[in-house]
Amino acid sequence: MTTFKPDEIQFLLQTTRQAMQLVQMIQGEMVNEALTKEDRSPVTVADFAAQALVGYHLALAYPNDLLVAEEDSARLKSDPAMLGQVTQFVQRLVQAATPDRVTAWIDHNRVDGGERFWTLDPIDGTKGFLRGDQYAVALALVVEGQVMLGALGCPHLNSNAEPIPNSGALFYAARGYGAWAIDLQQNHTALRLNASGRGDPTRARILRSFESGHTNTSQIDDFARWMNAKGEPVLMDSQAKYAVLAAGGAEILLRLLSSKQPDYREKIWDQAAGSIVLEEAGGRISDLDGKPLDFTLGRSLARNRGILATNGPLHSSALQALRQIGA
* Beta strands at 284-286 and 190-192: parallel, antiparallel or unpaired: unpaired
The single residue of 16, 44, 47, 87 carrying the catalytic annotation is: 47
Question: Above 60 in pLDDT, residue 68?
Answer: yes
- How many Cα atoms within 13 Å fall on the side-chain side of residue 169? 28
Burial of 213 (C-beta count, 10 Å sphere; 0-12/13-18/19+): exposed
Encode pLDDT of 167-216 as tens digits.
999 999 999 999 999 999 877 789 999 999 999 999 999 998 776 555 67
In a 3-state reduction of DSSP, which class is residue 186?
coil
Question: Above 90 in pLDDT, residue 10?
Answer: yes
Q: CATH 3.40.190.80 occupies which residues in the chain?
A: 201-325
CATH 3.40.190.80 fits 201-325, yes or no: yes
Q: Which pLDDT score, from 0 to 100, does residue 152 have?
A: 98
The single residue of 16, 103, 126, 215 carrying the catalytic annotation is: 126
In a 3-state reduction of DSSP, which class is residue 93?
coil
Percent of the chain with pLDDT over 70: 96
**Confidence at 44, pLDDT banded by 50, 70, 90:** very high
Cβ–Cβ under 8 Å, residues 68 and 268? yes
Q: Which pLDDT score, from 0 to 100, does residue 4 have?
A: 87
47 a catalytic residue: yes
Encode pLDDT of 135-159 as tens digits.
999 999 999 999 999 999 999 999 9
Percent of the chain with pLDDT over 90: 84
Q: CATH 3.30.540.10 occupies which residues in the chain?
A: 6-192
- How many Cα atoms within 13 Å fall on the side-chain side of residue 147? 29
Give the right CATH number for 6-192 from 1.10.1520.10, 3.30.540.10, 3.40.50.1360, 3.30.365.10.
Answer: 3.30.540.10
Q: Which pLDDT score, from 0 to 100, does residue 242 have?
A: 98
- pTM, entire model: 0.95
* Beta strands at 146-154 and 169-174: parallel, antiparallel or unpaired: antiparallel
Provide the β-strand partners of residue 174.
149
Question: Above 60 in pLDDT, residue 296?
Answer: yes
